[in-house]
Amino acid sequence: MTARKPPVNSYHHGSLAPALIAAAEQELSQAGIESFSLRAVAKRAGVSHGAPAHHFDGKNGLLTALAAEGYRRLIDAQNERQKKAQPDPLSQLIASGSGYLDFAMQNQELFRLMLASSLPDRDNEHFSAVSMAAFDKLAVEIRNVLGTDPYTDRVAMTQVMASWSMVHGLAELIISGRTKMPMDFTQMPAAQRDAIFEDILLRALKTN
Amino acid sequence: MTARKPPVNSYHHGSLAPALIAAAEQELSQAGIESFSLRAVAKRAGVSHGAPAHHFDGKNGLLTALAAEGYRRLIDAQNERQKKAQPDPLSQLIASGSGYLDFAMQNQELFRLMLASSLPDRDNEHFSAVSMAAFDKLAVEIRNVLGTDPYTDRVAMTQVMASWSMVHGLAELIISGRTKMPMDFTQMPAAQRDAIFEDILLRALKTN
DNA sequence: CCTTATTTCTAGACACTGTCAAGTTCCAGA
DNA sequence: TCTGGAACTTGACAGTGTCTAGAAATAAGG
């Protein structure tokens, strides 16, 4: 239960696991998912090529842990936006979506790993817990807007799916560079971008 | 300019390129993008492991050609839906979206290759031509609904982005199995599914 | 303090991958 | 018939993830 001792020699690192996660994130953002290499991560962390497998049970295990960490930071990014927004339910929902887009644009490869890749093990305990927490967050926000609980009301759950689809689709199109030609959001003043995002995200709501 | 002769011997296949594309699609749908293997494609087509590289200039080349073929069939799937729909612009737009979802659900790995992977070379001539054709199709449908051209009118282009985001996000969430818990579209009567899809897709439209 | 167990990490081997260069087989035009 | 070039094979290469055996360090028990 006590904290790990600091590294005292060159053989035993002391706390390799978090160091490997950090190295993996650097490697992921620079090399991309498709050419992500376990051995490159090991080299980056200064350990032998077999070390990561011992801590994370293989490549998929490391990517699963990294993706779980990503979900925590996705929720952080959403909370960050919501703190600056008006407290009414609708503003909070829009802010949540804006945070989703912030995270996607600032962590493109990590976002793709979390949501568009089949490499992470979705049955993993930590991963499914934190990804369900992200989903729950949206469900609560929708409930606050509509006044009905998505988990019991089918109309509200359809609203959840619509909102999620909209924000997720927009994120995917942006980070894959597919919006560059029609309207390049990444080269746009933040205020203008936010306004368009809000316009688009609001459409997912069926309030009548 | 004459058609290729049929294969007359075992050395020269005669028309290996399309055979490799077909083999690649089988391999893709069964193994998935992440573990797609050029050599497995070669084995499937009954040729040596170096043959595919000669025709498609490497793995990326083959996947690029396959993704381009996928776009053609995506457009086919959309047209198929539209033929059965009412001729008014709004019904045609919805049908186009439904065809998009049909294709995604029936060709999950191919869809992911086309739209969520960075493996295909998006600067490739054929690929960019056919993917822009798919985009143009949506732009025309939006123009028919709104009466203004997205390429000159910013509001209309925002409408294009919203519609695309919505249908694309929904497709991604479905094929990655992320809608299974809240509402499992794949285990649903087609009519009910279509109705929900229409409900969701219509939200992207801002008609007031 | 010494011995023993256990965890952490290394090192080597294995099968597999994509790519490249060189060689073989076949076709087509002169 | 000859010759150039296209189609395809073959072998080699560096790189990958995973597995196993072993070395190095810490922790536990006497």
Give the whole-angstrom CA distance, residue B49 versus residue B18.
16
Q: Inform me whether the pLDDT recorded for A10 exceeds 70.
A: no
- Residue A123: inside a domain: yes
Burial class from Cβ neighbours inside 10 Å (0-12, 13-18, 19+) for residue B208 reads: exposed
The pLDDT of residue A2 is: 32
Higher per-residue pLDDT: A3 or B114: B114
Q: How confident is the model at residue B208 (pLDDT cuts 50, 70, 90)?
A: low
The pLDDT of residue A1 is: 33
Residue B37: which domain range?
Answer: 9-56
Nucleotides of C under 7 A from a protein CB: 8-13, 16-22, 25-28
Name the interface residues of B facing A (CB cutoff 8 Å). Answer: 32-34, 112, 115-119, 122, 135, 150, 154, 157-158, 160-162, 164-173, 176-179, 182-183, 196, 199-200, 203-206
Q: What is the DSSP letter of A206?
A: -
- Residue A29: inside a domain: yes
The pLDDT of residue A47 is: 95
Verify that A91 and A23 share a domain, yes or no: no
The pLDDT of residue A208 is: 55
The pLDDT of residue B5 is: 40
What is the phi/psi pair of residue A113, to 5°? -60, -45
Verify that A80 and A164 share a domain, yes or no: yes
Give the whole-angstrom CA distance, residue B115 versus residue A177.
10
- Residue B129: inside a domain: yes
Model confidence pLDDT, tens digit, residues B19-77: 999 999 999 999 999 999 999 999 999 999 999 999 999 999 999 999 999 999 999 99
Domains in chain A: how many in total?
A: 2
Q: How confident is the model at residue A182 (pLDDT cuts 50, 70, 90)?
A: confident
Verify that B200 and B109 share a domain, yes or no: yes
Q: How confident is the model at residue A86 (pLDDT cuts 50, 70, 90)?
A: very high
- Residue B2: inside a domain: no
- Residue A62: inside a domain: no
pTM of the model: 0.92
CATH number reported for the structural domain that contains residue A43 in this entry: 1.10.10
Q: Judge whether A65 and A114 are in contact, CB under 8 Å.
A: no
Q: How confident is the model at residue B1 (pLDDT cuts 50, 70, 90)?
A: very low
Q: Inform me whether the pLDDT recorded for A195 exceeds 90.
A: yes
Q: Inform me whether the pLDDT recorded for B3 exceeds 60.
A: no
Mapping DSSP to helix (H, G, I), strand (E, B) and coil, where does residue B22 land?
helix
CB contact under 8 A, B172 and A172: yes
Q: How confident is the model at residue A5 (pLDDT cuts 50, 70, 90)?
A: very low
- Residue A2: inside a domain: no
* Residue at which a domain ends, from B17, B32, B56: B56
Verify that B51 and B88 share a domain, yes or no: no
- Residue B61: inside a domain: no
Verify that A87 and A52 share a domain, yes or no: no
CATH number reported for the structural domain that contains residue B194 in this entry: 1.10.357.10
Q: Judge whether A144 and A136 are in contact, CB under 8 Å.
A: no
Name the interface residues of A facing B (CB cutoff 8 Å). Answer: 32-34, 112, 115-119, 122, 135, 150, 154, 157-158, 160-162, 164-173, 176-179, 182-183, 196, 199-200, 203-206
SS3 content of chain A, % helix, strand, coil (to 5): 70, 0, 30
The pLDDT of residue B7 is: 45
Q: Judge whether A162 and A104 are in contact, CB under 8 Å.
A: no
Nucleotides of D under 7 A from a protein CB: 7-12, 15-21, 24-27
Verify that B102 and B48 share a domain, yes or no: no
Q: Judge whether B139 and B169 are in contact, CB under 8 Å.
A: no
Verify that A165 and A103 share a domain, yes or no: yes
Verify that A144 and A194 share a domain, yes or no: yes
Query: Could you tell me how many residues make up chain B?
Result: 208
Verify that B127 and B30 share a domain, yes or no: no
- Residue B112: inside a domain: yes
The pLDDT of residue B107 is: 97
Q: How confident is the model at residue A63 (pLDDT cuts 50, 70, 90)?
A: very high
Q: Inform me whether the pLDDT recorded for A6 exceeds 50.
A: no
Q: Inform me whether the pLDDT recorded for A206 exceeds 90.
A: no
Model confidence pLDDT, tens digit, residues B160-182: 999 999 999 999 999 998 888 88
CB contact under 8 A, B200 and A122: no
Cβ-Cβ contacts under 8 Å between A and B: the total is: 115
Verify that B31 and B133 share a domain, yes or no: no
Verify that A52 and A79 share a domain, yes or no: no
Verify that A30 and A100 share a domain, yes or no: no
Stretch A144-172: mean pLDDT, rounded? 96
Q: Inform me whether the pLDDT recorded for A42 exceeds 50.
A: yes
Whose tokens are 């006044």? That residue is A147
Stretch A100-118: mean pLDDT, rounded? 97
